[in-house]
Structure 1
Amino acid sequence: MMNTKADALYQFLVEHATDFTDDWLKRQQINTGSDYSADAPPEVMNKVKEQNSHYVRLVAKSLFQTEDEMKETISAWTSQTAADRIKSHTQLTEVAWNSGVFRRVYWEYIQKFVKQTDLEITLEDVFMWEKKLNYTLDYVLETFIISFMEIMMNRLSSQASLIRELSAPVIIITKNVGLFPLIGEIDTTRARGLMESTLTQCIQAGINTLVLDLSGVVMVDTMVAHQIFKLMDALKLLGIQSIMTGIRPEVAQTAVQLGLDFSGIMTAGDLQHIIKKLLLN
């Protein structure tokens, strides 16, 4: 009898998925630019309606699924939906608010079912549905947030890498010579990123000589110097000659005080002079 009641509830929810979505949409506020906005463009609204109606059916399906089956079904849906919401710049706070709205409407429809069905619904039935459905709804929000944040963090990481690369361009002077101007404050994290980016750019450009210009650097500590040494060692292994130029007096003084040894590195005092010399060779 329990399965008969669950079957009847499932059929009711599936058959009323479109009505459910209409009621859910009526509670949306105007937040221009959001997928959930009451004034969203028709094509956006239609897609949201389709997704929400499908969502209603997926949650209802969990009445008959094992926990593992439900999680597999829901995870696939939330991964795709999270990607769609990020693409449309929907805020996570809006998603959380709508999750609460969805849950309230869902239980209103269960209440409608209980009132109109000829089946005898007991408290045991309701509590069993509550356990199943609320667990599913909680899992939806949990996996949505995980997917949403994972996509956002990957995007931020990619953007940060691009910014680091753009802030450390290897300028191609000739077919064989490149210039790498280091500018601003360089901490350990940035120094590591600069090394990776520089090596990649040198290989792609096919240069055999790289001039590192430090005239825009105001401070060098032992960790940063270590990264610069590693960069020059890596360039040497790749068959690329490196020349350091533009070391400011205060940087040179700090280097001496810290005991940094630049004796094994080819240096030049003037960028213009070394570039001219390389061009003439």
Structure 2
Amino acid sequence: MQRNKDLYHYLMDKAEKLTKEWYESLDKSDPTGVYASRDPEVIRNLKKQNFEFHQHVCKVFIEEKQVFLKDFDQWLYKIATDDGHLRTPTHFIMREFIRVRNQYLEFIEIFSKNRNEPQHKIDLWKSTIIEVFDTALLRFTEEKSKYTEKQLEEQQHVINDNSSPVIDLTNGKALLPLVGEIDEARAATILENTLQDCMKKAVSHLFIDLSGVFMVDTMVAHQIFQLLQGLKLIGVNVTLSGIRPEIAQTAVQLGIDFKNIPITSTLAQALATMNE
């Protein structure tokens, strides 16, 4: 145990040197990542994070494994989800983990030679460092990936919520222009939001334009039909416009009947009927 403490203190004494050497040799060629920043505050924070990393890693030689992993994991999550590292390509970050690991392995060699440590002890220390860095790499990439996926899901929800606006016209009439790809999740959002908006705005007649929708699958076509049925149930009349041949074909295959719903070729034709 004493030898482990000695190694801990030796490595901690080298922590500032490790950080300095790491930053000086850092590949700053990627303009999109945190490593290339010239902002003094960003650089200070990056060096601070690297130094904190050393403080955590060195504790593997003096702390119980569970305690060490718990604290280390919390720190890794904080780093994996900060803006700078989220903007930095993951392979760049992985490369830096590997470079710093090599720094540690070299210092262990120097420490061991100066003290004539037995080979089995050297191998154990090196194995410990390799395990710590493997854990760090895995947890960092996991947390960054999960956080990024969560952000994308949240952004997609916002896009879906904002991509099916019910636009007020006049005298209880409104327009719902649908644009882009409609998958099952977006179709469900459109169904829910449109019914709610029509109720809130007291819409009596809704013009739904599909000219900006190029393709839907059978499930989405079915949900569009459900939207029409839902609007009918809450007393909203509907006029459809811009139904493309692909959508019409899918509707026919599903047996969806639009015979009681006014349909026009273009939105302009549909809006021309507003005063009728």
CA RMSD of aligned residues (A): 3.0
- 1:68 partnered with 2:66: yes
In the superposition, the TM-score normalised over structure 1's length comes to 0.80
CA distance in 1 between counterparts of 2:127 and 2:216 reads 60
2:238 is matched with which residue? 243
Q: Answer whether contact 1:171 1:180 (CA < 8 A) is retained.
A: yes
Equivalent of 1:267 in 255, 262, 271: 262
CA distance in 2 between counterparts of 1:275 and 1:192 reads 31
Q: SS where residue 178 of structure 1 aligns?
A: strand
Equivalent of 1:9 in 7, 10, 32: 7
Aligned length in residues: 267
Q: Answer whether contact 2:209 2:240 (CA < 8 A) is retained.
A: yes
- 1:223 partnered with 2:219: yes
Equivalent of 1:89 in 87, 91, 104: 87
2:117 is matched with which residue? 121
CA distance in 1 between counterparts of 2:230 and 2:262 reads 17
1:169 is matched with which residue? 165
Q: SS where residue 210 of structure 2 aligns?
A: strand
The superposition leaves residues 55-109 of structure 1 with CA deviations (integer Å, 9 ceiling, x where unpaired) of: 1111111123344333312221111111225566211111011011100111122
Q: SS where residue 34 of structure 2 aligns?
A: coil
1:104 is matched with which residue? 102
How many angstroms does 1:23 deviate by?
1.5
Taking a change above 3 Å as real, the CA distance of residues 13 and 259 of structure 1, as seen in their structure-2 partners, is same
Identity value in percent: 26
Taking a change above 3 Å as real, the CA distance of residues 113 and 217 of structure 1, as seen in their structure-2 partners, is closer
In the superposition, the TM-score normalised over structure 2's length comes to 0.81
Q: Which aligned pairs between 1:180-199 and structure 2 lie closer than 5 A?
A: 180-183=176-179, 186=181, 189=183, 192-197=185-190, 199=192
Q: Which aligned pairs between 1:129-144 and structure 2 lie closer than 5 A?
A: 129-144=125-140
Taking a change above 3 Å as real, the CA distance of residues 214 and 40 of structure 1, as seen in their structure-2 partners, is closer
How many angstroms does 1:221 deviate by?
6.0
1:207 is matched with which residue? 201
The superposition leaves residues 104-138 of structure 1 with CA deviations (integer Å, 9 ceiling, x where unpaired) of: 11112222322444xx5212221221232211111
Q: SS where residue 275 of structure 1 aligns?
A: coil
Question: After the TM superposition, which parts of structure 1 deviate over 6 Å for at least 4 consecutive aligned residues?
Answer: none
Taking a change above 3 Å as real, the CA distance of residues 70 and 47 of structure 1, as seen in their structure-2 partners, is same
Q: Answer whether contact 2:161 2:189 (CA < 8 A) is retained.
A: no
Q: Answer whether contact 2:34 2:84 (CA < 8 A) is retained.
A: no
Q: Which amino acid aligns with 1:147?
A: E
Structure 2 unaligned blocks of 5 or more: none
Q: Answer whether contact 1:222 1:260 (CA < 8 A) is retained.
A: no
CA distance in 2 between counterparts of 1:144 and 1:73 reads 14
Taking a change above 3 Å as real, the CA distance of residues 242 and 81 of structure 1, as seen in their structure-2 partners, is farther
How many angstroms does 1:178 deviate by?
2.5
The superposition leaves residues 187-229 of structure 1 with CA deviations (integer Å, 9 ceiling, x where unpaired) of: 5x2x540341353255257123333223445666643331112
How many angstroms does 1:170 deviate by?
2.2
CA distance in 2 between counterparts of 1:219 and 1:4 reads 69
CA distance in 2 between counterparts of 1:197 and 1:250 reads 22
1:52 is matched with which residue? 50
CA distance in 1 between counterparts of 2:79 and 2:247 reads 55
CA distance in 2 between counterparts of 1:124 and 1:252 reads 71
2:275 is matched with which residue? 276
CA distance in 1 between counterparts of 2:101 and 2:56 reads 13
CA distance in 1 between counterparts of 2:229 and 2:120 reads 72
